[in-house]
Amino acid sequence: MSVTSREVVREAARRRTFAVISHPDAGKSTLTEALALHARVIGQAGAVHGKGERRGTVSDWMAMERDRGISITSAALQFAYRDVVVNLLDTPGHADFSEDTYRVLTAVDCAVMLLDAAKGLEPQTLKLFEVCRQRQIPVITFINKWDRPGQDALALLDEIESRIQLTPTPLNWPVGVAGHFHGLVDRDTGGMIRFERAPGGAGIAIEEHLDTAEAARRYGGDWSGAIEELELLTLSGAEHDEESFQAARSTPVLFGAAVTNIGVRQLLDVLVELAPAPAARPTTDGGSRPLDSEFSGFVFKIQANMDPSHRDQVAFVRVCSGRFTRGMIVTHGTTGRPFTTKYAQQIFGRDRDTLDEAYPGDVIGLVNATALGIGDTLHTGPKVRFPALPAFPPEHFAVVRAVDSSTFKRFRRGIEQLDAEGVVQVLRSELRGEQAPVLAAVGTMQFEVATHRLAAEFGVRTTLDRLPYEFAVRTTLDGRDALQSEAGVEVLRRTQDDALLALFPNPYRLRSVAARHPGVPLEPLTGNS
């Protein structure tokens, strides 16, 4: 093995690349920032003005996110902790932005599943977990908001095992019920950690380590109750097994409260010690790209105008193999053309620094890389192609128009940008014309984001008219001609891949049209359509 190969393997082993997944309002962005706080890469929780006493999170950089208190787009944070380089990808929790989250999950090696102590497993969490299961991504569970009233700890473990068939293996255990929380039992040492929160949750919580005698003296029945529950778990075999975890059959479980920074350091330590490092990446030819091969990576996200002072477009690239150096000439896998990486940056929320090198597991921000699209592969050396990223069938459709015709050039540029980023899918037809594209979305909030960004970033006020369609299927030119006579059916061209999509108001209409035109291709859109 060459010196360069050894360096790549060594550096890859130091990387931990993971995403946080949850249902909306489970505290995902708060946890993301609390992890950065414990790694001491920010001095205070919150980088911009937020709601109440707590500032907004550094990962929520979009004005609409700060105003609404939700994550709309994923964000990348890289920082060092102990001797490890952490690449943390925060993701939207709202179901309307599932597609963005699903794409991010293709770029990680592990996931933290965040549960609200009061609500347990919620619908969006279950959907995202299924993506992790399909991709065999190991999952660490963090049960959040233990400082508020919630469910019984053992009941939450039972829910995890019964509903998602993962064996929960707690690494710590709460002393006191949810809402009446004293601290955590560390299963490794058997002692207790008591926390004293910082005012407003802005700083790291102070930890006090108690031995078993002192914990029993202070907390009596709550301490003995926690120990009895741990004994039950030990008897039932709920012990961490690294092989089972790496195979995505079990999940280490930790308890805490992200908003007060309780249990967050323990989670960060577990991520460093247990989460898998990058491994050889599967390719479309059925093989895999070894870590010490020449450079390769793929684009999993595109984002523009992250900072008003930098009105540019950033392509987020997950490094899969080799050593990346700024300025290297790589091959664009889709076109086969050379691509220069002069403007490579490390992204931290919306902040950025010049990046000179990167290794497998890292995320590179390539600035003004307008030739790149989501899912594109970049490489040096032998040609390689990574599997296509998931796209999902739209269920909502609306015509968007500029209010002022004099802003049409900016309107068109904005629509092209939103399409490139995957904020919405853009459909067109000769009948509707260039000035009235149709936006197609998985969830209606995507329309709100699109119109907000057209106004805020391009200075274009728009109107939005909802269309009465709920289903889209793929067809052909011949199919388009055959369907022209059908009322309530419309065929449009998707700009991102030139696919022809036939739109229907409901499944009954689709079935009746298909019965009248048995020779017309009407293919369902799948997760990769």
Query: What are 453-474's pLDDT values in tens digits?
Result: 899 889 999 999 999 999 999 9
Q: How far apart are CA 494 and CA 324, in angstroms?
A: 34
Domain final position from 379, 407, 432: 379
**What domain range is 50 assigned to?**
18-74+92-99+111-274
Q: Is residue 384 part of a domain?
A: no
Average pLDDT for 182-206: 87
What is the arithmetic mean of pLDDT over 49-72? Answer: 44
Assess whether pLDDT exceeds 80 at residue 434. Answer: yes
Q: So what's the pLDDT on residue 305? A: 66
120 and 254 share a domain? yes
Q: At 488, is the secondary structure helix, strand, or coil?
A: coil
Share of the chain above pLDDT 70, in %: 88
pLDDT at residue 399, rounded to an integer: 97
Q: Is the pLDDT of residue 53 over 60?
A: no
What number is the average pLDDT over the span 434-442? 93
49 annotated binding-site participant: no
d(CA 21, CA 426): 27
Question: Does 91 carry a binding-site annotation?
Answer: yes
Are residue 329 and residue 477 in the same domain, yes or no? Answer: no
User: What does the pLDDT read at residue 120?
Assistant: 96
Looking at the structure, tell me whether residues 251 and 334 fall in a common domain.
no
The predicted pLDDT at position 309 comes to 61
Same domain? For 31 and 157 the reply is yes
* Within-domain flag for 2: no
Same domain, yes or no: 354 and 499 = no
Is 520's pLDDT higher than 80? yes
pLDDT digits (tens, 9 = 90+) for 20-33: 988 888 888 889 88
Q: What are phi and psi of 315, to 5 degrees?
A: -100, 125
Per residue in 96-143, pLDDT (tens digit) is 556 777 888 899 999 999 999 999 999 888 888 888 898 899 999 999
Q: What average pLDDT score do residues 370-398 get?
A: 89
146 and 206 fall within a common domain: yes
- Residue 101: predicted pLDDT: 77
pLDDT of residue 280 exceeding 90: yes
Question: Residue 461 is part of a domain; what is its CATH number?
Answer: 3.30.70.3280
d(CA 395, CA 464): 16
Let me know if residue 12 belongs to a domain. Answer: no
Domain count, the chain: 3
CB burial of residue 112 (10 Å; 0-12, 13-18, 19+): buried
Mean pLDDT of 391-400: 89
Across 117-226, where does the E strand assignment appear?
A: 139-144, 167-170, 172-175, 183-186, 192-196, 206-210
pLDDT recorded at residue 28: 84
How far is Cα 29 from Cα 334, in angstroms, rounded to an integer?
34
Q: What is the pLDDT of residues 318-328, one digit of tens each?
A: 999 999 999 99
What whole-number distance in Å separates Cα of residue 171 and Cα of residue 245? 13
Q: Considering the domain boundaries, does residue 411 fall inside one?
A: yes
* Residue count of the chain: 529
pLDDT at 73: 47
Q: Looking up tokens 């952490």, which residue turns up? A: 86
**Would you give the end-to-end CA distance of the chain in angstroms?**
41
- Cα separation of 427 and 525, whole Å? 15
Considering the domain architecture, whether residues 206 and 343 belong to the same structural domain is answered as no
Mean of the per-residue pLDDT values of the chain: 87
Judged by average pLDDT, the poorest of 67-71, 367-371, 419-423, 519-523 is 67-71
Question: Is 432 a domain residue?
Answer: yes
pLDDT of residue 57: 46
Task: With CA atoms as reference, report the closest residue to 160 among 134, 133, 179, 183.
Answer: 133
Inform me whether the pLDDT recorded for 91 exceeds 90. Answer: no
Between 205 and 510, the more confident residue is 510
Q: Are residues 498 and 353 in the same domain?
A: no
Domain check: are 474 and 363 in the same one? no
101 is in an annotated binding site: no
**How many C-beta atoms surround the C-beta of residue 95 within 10 A?**
16
Q: What separation in angstroms does the CA of 351 have from each of 184, 307, 346, 355, 437?
A: 35, 8, 8, 12, 33
CATH code of the domain covering residue 139: 3.40.50.300
* pLDDT value for 388: 81
Are 117 and 222 in a shared domain?
yes
Q: Assess whether 333 and 428 both reside in one domain.
A: no
Is 117 a member of any domain? yes
pLDDT over threshold 70, residue 55: no
Structure confidence at residue 528 (pLDDT): 55
DSSP 434-471: TTSPEEEESSTHHHHHHHHHHHHHH---EEEEE-S--E
The verdict on 183 and 287 lying in the same domain is no
pLDDT score of 308: 59
Q: What is the pLDDT of residue 3?
A: 58
Q: Is the dihedral of CA 259, 263, 265, 267 positive or negative?
A: negative
335 assigned ligand-binding residue: no
Stretch 73-91: mean pLDDT, rounded?
82
Q: Is the pLDDT of residue 69 over 80?
A: no
Mean pLDDT, to the nearest integer, of 470-494? 93
User: What pLDDT does residue 72 have?
Assistant: 37
Domain ends where: 227, 247, 274? 274
Strongest mean pLDDT among 52-56, 137-141, 203-207: 137-141
In a domain, 265, yes or no: yes
CA distance 268 to 257: 13
Q: Give the per-residue pLDDT at 443.
A: 83
pLDDT band at 514 (very low <50, low <70, confident <90, very high): very high
Residue 92 labelled as part of a binding site: yes
Q: Residue 315: which of 331, 300, 325, 294 has the closest Cα?
A: 300
Residue where one domain finishes, among candidates 352, 379, 406: 379
Determine what percent of the chain is predicted with pLDDT higher than 90: 63
Q: So what's the pLDDT on residue 321? A: 97
- Evaluate whether residue 389 is within a structural domain: no
Report the C-alpha gap between 53 and 119 in whole angstroms: 24
Task: Give the integer Cα–Cα distance in Å for 98 and 109.
Answer: 19
